[in-house]
Amino acid sequence: MVAANWTDKDTARALQLWERYQTEHDLTHRRGQTAGIEPTTGRVWFGESALAIAEQMETAGGRVPFYAVRVGSDHYLRKGGRR
C-alpha cells in the first residue's frame, strides 16, 4: 500500500486495531509515546515519534504506511491557531 493509496477504510481499520490493542495491553508505562498501527498486518510499533517508528520499520526490513497516535490521547499532533 502506497501512502497515496491510503483510504478512510485504512484509517478505520487502524483505529479499530488500536482500540482492541488498548483493551488487551497495559499502556500506562507508554503514555506520551507514539504508537504506529499498520492497518494491513495489525502490528503496533512504539517510539518517541512517527519518524522514529518509520526508522524502526526500515531497520526491520521495510517501511509501510501506518497510522500514528500519541498513547493516552486520541490524536498524534493537534494543530492550533493563535489565541
Nearest CA to 46 out of 30, 35, 31 is that of: 35
* Residue 77 in this model has a pLDDT that exceeds 90: no
| Cα–chain center distance at 13 | 12
Q: Is 43 exposed, middle or buried (0-12, 13-18, 19+ CB in 10 A)?
A: middle
Work out the angle at residue 66's Cα, subtended by the Cα atoms of residues 63 and 40, and round it to the nearest 5 degrees.
90
pLDDT tens sequence across 8-56 = 999 999 999 999 999 999 999 999 999 999 999 999 999 999 999 999 9
At residue 20, the pLDDT reads 97
CB atoms within 10 A of CB 59: 9
pLDDT-based confidence at 57, cuts 50/70/90?
A: very high
**pTM to 2 decimals?**
0.83
